Amino acid sequence: MTDNNDETRQRDGGSVTTVDRDFSQSGHRDGTNETASTFAGEELVIGYSSTEEPVIEEASIHVTPGEVTALVGPNGSGKSTLLKGLADQLSRDSGTVRLDGTGIDELSTKELARKLGLLSQENVSPDSLSVEKLVEHGRYPHRGFFDSLTDADQAAIDRAISLSGIDHLREREVGSLSGGQKQLVWIAMVLAQETGVLLLDEPTTFLDLHHQLEVMEIVETLRDESDITVVLVLHDIDQAARYADHMVALKDGAIYARGSPEEMITEKLLADVFEIDARVEQTDRGPRIEPLRPHHDDGKTEKRETAVAEQPIEPAREEIESRGRSDYTEHVNN
């Protein structure tokens, strides 16, 4: 249960100068989140039973409580695998995931589900199920075997439905909804779980623009009005830059860099991680990326574009440096 306390949170204007690699102490905002869940994965090695080599090798991630962290990276970089490992959906070969200081292996599946919610990339449900019934399943971890729905459960369901903006769909059958509407319903189900930590696996992929914005608006609301710690995998790096407080870039199963969107979205990072030439423009909605062309395997990069990339990188870099953050990336050994 997270209360929506009314404290006003503002992004601090660079007044904090301490640089700490551990984001849980970076003091990104004035309002610290004492009630927000802490969530961290330490030295995670995660793989699938079908392959010998683990997909994620020794990745550590500390998520800032109460804020939104986006995992980005190219296809096959392991971002979804990392998320599944954090959610205990994939068994870890080694490493620990800690939730509020407790290793998640010490929690029963039900206890974990009361604290950590996961929206998978693909979801299935019977077509004839009503929207409200599906959202009701989000209360599963809070109910005993014989418990019927309590008023508290009903209240949580109503909150989740209204937060997801699907009041008008309540009585509809899930099978009759569009892909975007379905996604909102699934998000409502995870919200009804009322967990302190929420993991979303590519919540906007395959959605039309309208529903992408709807989904990200929910994330924004969670960021601004609740203590929920959100970690999401995003395919769209523009979206990550716009809505996340922190970004973690993965490449080849390792964490390549992490930082705020302003720090992270640079032409160099895009070249290194995504292997593209791109132009980055700072706007008041955060950095905006204009992808230009992919790097090819033969290593040929066209001179003209390299010249563009070498232009001095605009205010962001200076601003970062003025905050004393000279090193914006943190490389993790493979």
Under the rule (CB under 8 A), what is the footprint of other proteins? Answer: 49, 87, 89, 108-114, 117-118, 120, 123-129, 133-134, 137-138, 140-141, 143, 145-146, 148-151, 193
Pairing of strands 92-99, 39-46: antiparallel
Q: For residues 15 and 148, which CB has a smaller minimum distance to other proteins in the complex?
A: 148
| Cβ atoms of 90 and 84 closer than 8 Å | yes
**Cα angle vertex 84, ends 137, 203, to 5°?**
65
Query: Whole-number minimum distance, CB 68 to other proteins, in Å?
Result: 19
What is the closest distance, in whole angstroms, from the C-beta atom of residue 63 to other proteins in the complex?
18
Choice between 114 and 288, CB closer to other proteins? 114
Nearer to other proteins, 108 or 311 (CB): 108
Shortest Å distance, C-beta 40 to other proteins? 19
Q: Which is nearer to other proteins, 93 or 217 (CB)?
A: 93
| C-beta of 134 vs 166, nearer to other proteins | 134
Query: What is the nearest approach in angstroms of other proteins to the Cβ of residue 90?
Result: 10
Write the burial class of residue 9 (CB in 10 Å: 0-12 exposed, 13-18 middle, 19+ buried). Answer: middle
**Adjacency order of strands within the sheet including 56-63:** 56-63, 39-46, 92-99, 102-103
What tokens does 334 get?
């493979």
Q: In this structure, what are the phi and psi dihedrals at residue 300, rounded to the nearest 5 degrees?
A: -75, 120
3-state secondary structure of 167: helix
Residues 131, 169 contacting (CB under 8 angstroms): yes
For other proteins, the closer CB: 124 or 209: 124
**End-to-end Cα separation, the chain, in angstroms:** 38
Q: What is the nearest approach in angstroms of other proteins to the Cβ of residue 121? A: 9
For the record, the structure tokens of 53 come out as 């080599």
The least distance separating other proteins from the CB of residue 125, rounded to whole angstroms, comes to: 6
